[in-house]
Structures are given as C-alpha cells and as structure tokens.
Amino acid sequence: MRFLPGEWFVVRIILVLAALDAVLLYFKNIQVDVVGYASMVGIGLFLVAAGQYYRVVRNEGRLALAVIAAGLFVLFTIIGSIFNYMFLPNTFAPVDVFLMQVDEAMGYHWPSLLIWISNYPWFGAFLYQVYFTCLPQLLVIILALGFVGQAQKLHLFLLTGVIGALLAIVIWALFPNFGAKSFYDLPQSVLGAFPIAVTPAYGDALLALSRDGVDYLSPKNVLGLIGFPSFHTVMACMSVCFVPRHLILMPVIFCLNAFMALAILVQGGHRLIDMIGGVGVFAIAYALSGMTMRRLSGAYHKISEPQAA
C-alpha cells in the first residue's frame, strides 16, 4: 500500500484510536452492534482499498487522493464516535450551569430563540435541512480538493478535522456538558411548529448517558454527546476555510454556512458559548495541523502526486 505523508499520519491516529476503543470496550464490558459497525468500517476500508488501486495500479493520482481521503474520513468518524462514548459515564460533574450563566451574560436564551423561530415555521424547517448538510459539505470538499489534485491542502483539511475532533472530545471529557437542550423545556406549540433535530427529550437522553453510561453501542443510536465546544461549528469553519475557489461551489458553501450558524443554535440545541468554543477549537486545530503539514511538506516534493490543479 502506498500512502502519502498526511494520509499516514491520519492512518496512525485511526489505528491508535481503534486499539484504545477495543481495549476500553472490553474492560467496560460494552456490547457492540458488530454487523452495524462492520458494515460502516467496510465502507471506509473499501474506499481506501479502491484509492490504493487507482494510485498503484491505474496511476490515477487525483482520483486516488479523493477516494482515500473519503475512506479515512469515514473510518475516523466511526472510530472517533466510539472513542467519545468511552468517557461515559462522566467522571467529572457537568459544567452546564456555568456555561448557561455565560450565555445569560451575553444576552442569549435558547428557548426565546426557538419561540421566535416558531413564528416562522418555514424558516425553522429550512434550518433543519441546513443543519444536516454539515457532513455532506465536508465530503464534497474532500472530493473537490482531491479531484483538483491539492494533496497538501486536502491532508491539512483531514488533519484539522481529526485534531479538532480529538480536542473537542478531551475538553468535553474534562468538562462534561450537554448543551442548552438538556436543561430547558420548550412549549408544545414550539415543538409542533417545525421539525427540531435536537429536542429537550434528546437532551434528557444525554443526561441519562452521562449518569448511567452505555452498555450497548450501535451506529443506529449513537448521539452527539458534546455541547461545548460545538463540533458542528468546527465542521462549518472547515467548510468555509477549505472550500476550493470554484464559481459555483464557493458561494453555495458560504451561503449554507451563513445559515448554519443559526441552525447550530436552533437545531443543534447549542449555547452561544458552545459556538465560540467551536471557533476556538478550529483555530487551534488548524494551527497544529499547519505545523504538522509544514514538517511533512518536504516528503511531498519527493513524490509525483499532483499538488495543485
């Protein structure tokens, strides 16, 4: 198999996390939906293998870049989500009360925002759709960067996502918190006005996980655990920062993420401070990834992989 330096870096992280997951699952005696996870891991491995075929056998470097990166993205998403669950039940007390006080000091109140949005149900439904474009946006950017041959930028993108996710998990593990949706109730008139991705009932499920932990893991019922720092915000920042300068793609991504900021608050049940924390985590992850890629850049010049369109 032939991996580029940035790819190898991500592969090593995935392997280390996978080993940690296996050990922790065993010692915590957590049962796993083997078929569910095997099918998802199989998709990721298939993409990586297909990329290797296009790189080694067909010598189609740009297609290989895109397909391998997509496979690594899928694999890290699966392994990383399991790793996040290994910190349940939480060792430390939740810090949500403090974070809500910070929000109050900034004049933000989640239920008031939802009540206002309920007066415009079409807009709430639109934000619901926008909220779920986050992962597809990242996949589109992976494919776009790969197909134009921007190997180093693509791998900077991957490293930023990986490091950002790990930072968010570590911060959350030390300072557990579950977002505004876990501590506020909403009137039935608001809940019935437009679809809401993350409701107070979702928040109650998170608090139960924090208290009781998990005894069975399946990709069918994995929840987004982290409130602060908002990883949805990290992903939105990645989309805006790394989107290729394309006549159609760039304005579409920019417009989507202009609304994504509000969607994260409304549909993600986040506090304002969660988003601010997400921007901070992205900035740190981007800086650390840049430092890593600069150390690896010399190796890219020794290979024939295309660097730019």
Tell me the average pLDDT of the chain: 94
* Mean pLDDT for the stretch of residues 41-67: 96
Specify the range with the lowest mean pLDDT, choosing from 53-57, 119-123, 246-250, 262-266: 246-250
Closest residue by Cα to residue 12 from 242, 292, 230, 223: 292
Residue 278, in any domain of the structure: yes
Q: What is the pLDDT of residue 234?
A: 98
Task: For residue 109, tell me if it sits in a domain.
Answer: yes
Given this model, what pLDDT does residue 299 score? Answer: 73
Percent of the chain whose predicted confidence (pLDDT) is above 70: 97
Return d(Cα 50, Cα 253) in angstroms, integer: 28
Q: Which amino acid, residue 39? A: S
Range 121-126 contact pairs with CB under 8 angstroms and sequence separation of 24 or more: 121/193, 121/194, 122/194, 123/194, 124/193, 124/194, 124/195, 124/196, 124/266, 125/194, 125/195, 126/259
Report the percentage of the chain scoring pLDDT > 90: 92
- Bond before 306 cis per omega within 30 degrees: no
Give a yes or no: residue 32 inside a domain: no
Q: In this model, does residue 49 exceed pLDDT 80?
A: yes
| pLDDT of 309 above 50 | no
Which residues are 31's β-sheet partners?
216
Q: Is the pLDDT of residue 245 over 90?
A: no
The arithmetic mean of pLDDT across residues 190-210, rounded, is 93
Average pLDDT for 239-261: 93
Q: Is the dihedral of CA 47, 144, 73, 152 positive or negative?
A: positive
Is 22's pLDDT higher than 80? Answer: yes
- The pLDDT score that the predictor gives to residue 250 is 93
Q: Classify residue 68: in a domain, yes or no.
A: no
Mean pLDDT of the region 156-174:
98
Does residue 255 form part of some domain?
Answer: yes
Q: What's the rounded mean pLDDT across residues 164-182?
A: 96
How far is Cα of residue 172 from the mean position of the Cα atoms in its chain?
Answer: 14
Residue 76 lies in a domain: no
Note whether residue 305 is domain-resident: no
Kindly state the tokens that stand for 149: 């041959």
Report if residue 289 sits inside a domain: yes
Q: Over range 98-104, report the average pLDDT.
A: 96
For 99, the domain range is 90-300
Report the C-alpha gap between 227 and 275 in whole angstroms: 9
Domains in the chain, number: 1
Q: Which residues contact 191 (CB under 8 A, 6 or more apart)?
A: 199
CA pair distance 278, 165, nearest whole angstrom: 10
pLDDT of 126 above 80:
yes
pLDDT band at 303 (very low <50, low <70, confident <90, very high): low
Q: What is the mean pLDDT of residues 101-125?
A: 96
* Residue 85, pLDDT above cutoff 80: yes
